[in-house]
Chain A
Amino acid sequence: MGGGYDAGSLNSSEQERFERTVLPHLNAAYNLARWLCRNGPQAEDVVQEACLRAVKFFARFRGDNAKAWLLTIVRNTFYSAWQGRGPAAAVGVDEELPEVKDDAPGPEDLLLQKATREMIAEALEDLPVEFREAVVLRELEGLSYREMAEVMQVPMGTVMSRLARARGRLRERLQEQVRRGAA
């Protein structure tokens, strides 16, 4: 009993199945953790912990989407272990929903082309975590809305409005930075 390390309960064929279905998504897991933590060493710890949790839950995993499943565990690990709060506490940002800030089209979007990688990374890091994860899951990991709803544990409509709002903020931020850089 002692030690609480029951990953050993996976027999060796399950172990291989785990390595075959889950480990290929390690880069995705790390990428999400890295953007959530905004720090490399902590992201590594989150991913390692998440993988060990994943082993424990693996026997119960029946789905066919191992990537979304692993990302859900990474996200939960981050929120519960490193934030000291549950993902449920994150709903605050949606209070003003469903209105999306109108991003008036204009020539200033040409400015976006002048944004450097540093500016973009900084703008993304500065987003509130609920918006940041939406952008990372969609733009960097290419998840569908349905997969995002699964990972973020919110309804599809919330996914859509968070994404729209996140993009609006990102654009605003970048335009600001580019203008400041140009001045």
Chain B
Amino acid sequence: MATKEYSFYPGCSSERKASASNYMVSVETMCKTLDVKLNEIPDWNCCGASIGYAQGGELPRHAMNARNIALSEKSFGNQDIVATCAACWLGAKESQERINHSESLMGDINTILGEIGLKYEGKQHIRHMVEVLIEDFGYDELKKPVKKPLEGIKIAGYVGCQTNRPFGVAGESFENPKYLDKLVETMGGEPVEKYDQKVTCCGGALAFSEPEKSYVQIKKIIESAYDFGAEMIVTPCPVCQMNVEVYQDQINKKYNTKFKIPVLYYSQLMAVAYGADAKGAGLDGNIVRATKLEEIAARK
């Protein structure tokens, strides 16, 4: 198959020494195997995230996303825009939808971008990486490069919110999306199909501002994974990954629990299954180490 190219929007958390830097490492490894070329949008900026609304307001938020889209148009206008972060994808897609459906917004956005010599058309498709995997490859195609199936590992597919609502992935239901389970299965792992907190909110940005309330959410997400026998959790979102992984000790202290469950990105599972070593799969970036995956990665 020929190389597939996309205009790539990595987002702030994917930067070096940022909270999802290991996501980026594993995505690069995965894309190498799949012969995907990600063309980074030159000088992209933050999408405003979901918490940007309060101080940012409407137009400034859309302007942030419109700048990225306009920069992409200039450099890679004939390619789809792909984001790996759920919030980046949602923010960009939402702004594009709003601007494209309103003449007055379109006018204002181009007045704003005109100040910095850019023009917005908004014709590219904006997609999340999992859409690329599912739609441009498909599960059968994704299975072909598997060298080390993740045999015997029970994995809970924690989809979370923002790749699932309000847009979601085509063909999936909001209440019980199956794509992570299918990806786990494709990589030879064992999806925990009964996992009943797969679309529960982790608290998002409120894990910062209202930690106690978010811990209740995170506790539910982890407890259910354990209840149904999961050995690790997999997610497509940097905020979900961070919230569910890094606060486990805080929750243990507060609720007298003994949580210690690894939380991985789908791309880390895929990198390992495709034969990458632990570093290439970004496993050294997990605070709760995924020892079972490390063992597979170390196997010759």
A and B form one complex? no
Name A's B-contacting residues (CB within 8 A): none
